Amino acid sequence: MARDLKFTRNIGIMAHIDAGKTTTSERILYYTGKTHKIGEVHEGAATMDWMVQEQERGITITSAATTAFWHYKGDTYQINLIDTPGHVDFTVEVERSLRVLDGTVATFCAVGRVQPQSETVWRQADKYGVPKIAYVNKMDRVGADFLAVVEEIKTKLGAKAVPLCLPIGAEDKFEGIIDLIAMKAIYYDANSEALVNYEIRDIPANMLDEARTWRDNLVEAAAESDEALMEKFFEDPESITEDEIIAALRTATINMSIVPACCGSSFKNKGVQFLLDAVMRYLPSPLDKGTIVGTNPNTGEEEDRHATASEPFCALVFKIATDPFVGRLAFLRAYSGKLDAGSYVLNTRTGKKERVSRLYQMHSNKQNPIEFVEAGDICAAVGFKDLRTGDTICAEDHPVTLEAMEFPDPVIGIAVEPKTSKDLEKLGVALAKLAEEDPTFTVKSDHETGQTVISGMGELHLDIIVDRLRREFGVEINQGAPQVNYKEAITTTVQHREVFKKQTGGRGKFADIIVEIGPADEGHTGLQFDNQVKGGNIPKEYIPCIQKGFETAMANGVLAGYEVPSLKVTVLDGSFHPVDSDQLSFEICARMAFRHACPKAHPVLLEPIMSLEVVTPEEYMGDIVGDLNRRRGQINAMDSTSNGARIIKAFVPLSEQFGYVTVLRTLSSGRAASTMTFDHYSEVPANLAKEVIEKSGYKSSEDDE
């Protein structure tokens, strides 16, 4: 199956909720001949939304991958397509998909324009340097305005959006588009089920001038990235050929200086084929992405990998899923080399060999077996023992670690217990599987109360988890009220001496350390550890034990037992006993030092602050702002949209936001909508912190033995 990678596109579809991502994906599958019936989201029949929860709610929860083929200019292109969720609670799905994709189609609603979540996904794509095409959907809706969306992409997202086409008519009169490169009009027949449901005609006379203006604008944008073309543009713009424009636009898209924009109405089957052609024309193939840089785990030096089958194999695991028939699936993006089914690979995180027994090409939740996978492809593997999201797998004799992904910490938790005691084991297995699939979902057991607490990114996220437990794993559970994941921090630096002594007859325990404990440097997370012991007062072999002791202690702060995310510890001096001192003594001594020193360093409680955006008609503004003030909200901005609605942006503590959606509906008679994303942690006011600490009933156990 050695094929030319030039004809492969690994693309994703990303957007705000309800911009039409899944509908667009369904049309792509239909027009590429992958499906023979168009699946509709509102009917719960979309191919890409295969989970029961997705079909019921009409939202995408998990990113589904599929492979389709598209014929463009006599060549057959392979498209590996990933449909990503829009809802902010499932942002991890977007994050890990973008990490392995070469290009993405950012979909916008022609009425809603650039919405809050559009900005989030756009930033995620920028973070991984993924080139984009903008696709303005829903041109058939009342209030649709293509050029206004293009303008908003420039102002709100700071990207240079360049229209590739113009709509012919809008709203219910949206008939087709003008291709500004070919200077032809494409009229669509919405009722036709044929794969070619359009005809090409001349541009209507009343739109000719406008089309010429925008074409000049397009040619100019293309010429900016190509000097030879720029000269031609100034001498004789007419002499520039279509192929030259396309080549220049492609270069500019891949280096992310421009974003080509096209429009359509996926639901009415208009503009999808044009979008597919644009994907082939402008988005990069695996070859365009160039070399992938990884790190050799043995030497720590950088190593390059090229997208060819002849290089040593390396791939990134970007997702783990559980399938009822084939078991655990690991989704991989192969960056170099070739992997045969049944062969062994090295997992660089564990340093162990893994056998990949079977490889599959994915089509939503169905698998088609394949013999091997080559550089540039996306597939799913089965048969491994221990793979997690973000692992690098590679050839055994050429180890390399690729840049992993970072995931946000969960911000909200609920206590769960099975309804019957016989389900206890089942619950444990089910939660372990779900935590493996989703890096933003964590499971903790509270030793004090014996409760199992599950944490995630938002209320909807946990709702879906509970629903999956019931349906997929057959575990009925009782759940407690949502809890906020607080954190703790210390605000001042203190010096402390801790002596740990225990005499039990025979060999005792002894450790003595003098440490300085304070807040970590800005931008540093975890333990910042500095050893300044001179003259062998504490032997070298005990220093890592002190570090480990502090790292363990940071899991439970001194106020209410919440995690301490960052800390700076400097070991200044200490002493040891040649007989009684051992590694465990110093580890326990460090843990005790943490508990005795932190109360003196002015510890504070931190709470998650959410960034909230509310879109509301003008008349409900006062009530909504008043309500946010009551919730300790801090209003940052108030903007107006073109259709007269108001946008309120605010920071609000998560603890005040439970059930907010219902309250907002009541305040605005159901007309306002809100989106909320985690932003940062900040200190809890003293009176409220006192309540939280008392409620937690946390007692730090003095003795570790």
pLDDT number for residue 689: 87
pLDDT number for residue 50: 47
Does the pLDDT value for residue 642 go beyond 70?
A: no
CA dist., res. 524 & res. 550, Å (int): 16
Interaxial angle between packed helices 208-223 and 227-235, expressed in degrees from 0 to 180 and rounded to the nearest 10: 140
Closest of 124, 149, 128 to residue 139, by C-alpha: 149
Interaxial angle between packed helices 543-553 and 583-597, expressed in degrees from 0 to 180 and rounded to the nearest 10: 40
Q: Span 570-578, mean pLDDT?
A: 87
Question: How confident is the model over 668-684, as pLDDT tens digits?
Answer: 877 777 777 778 889 99
pLDDT number for residue 89: 62
The percent of residues in the chain predicted with pLDDT above 70, rounded, is 90
Highest mean predicted confidence (pLDDT) among 3-12, 32-41, 336-345: 336-345
Identity of the residue numbered 302 = E
pLDDT number for residue 77: 87
pLDDT number for residue 221: 84
pLDDT number for residue 1: 40
Q: Span 370-376, mean pLDDT?
A: 84
Does the pLDDT value for residue 190 go beyond 80?
A: no
Question: How confident is the model over 15-68, as pLDDT tens digits?
Answer: 877 777 778 887 887 887 766 655 555 555 455 544 556 555 556 566 667 788
Backbone φ, ψ for residue 435 (5° rounding)? -70, -30
Retrieve residue 287's tokens.
């070859």
Does the pLDDT value for residue 659 go beyond 80?
A: no
Does the pLDDT value for residue 609 go beyond 70?
A: yes
Question: How confident is the model over 376-390, as pLDDT tens digits?
Answer: 888 888 878 778 777
Count of CB atoms situated within 10 Å of the CB of 267: 21
CA dist., res. 426 & res. 354, Å (int): 27
The percent of residues in the chain predicted with pLDDT above 90, rounded, is 5
E strands, 54-102, are: 64-72, 75-83
**DSSP bridge pairs for 401:** 295
CA dist., res. 212 & res. 202, Å (int): 13
pLDDT number for residue 705: 43
Question: How confident is the model over 498-512, as pLDDT tens digits?
Answer: 888 887 767 788 888
Q: Span 690-694, mean pLDDT?
A: 84
- 188's CB contacts (< 8 A; 6+ apart) are 175, 176, 197, 198, 268, 269, 270, 271
pLDDT number for residue 414: 83
Does the pLDDT value for residue 275 go beyond 60?
A: yes
Band of residue 702 on the pLDDT scale cut at 50, 70, 90: very low
Whether 644 contacts 602, CB under 8 Å: no
pLDDT number for residue 134: 92
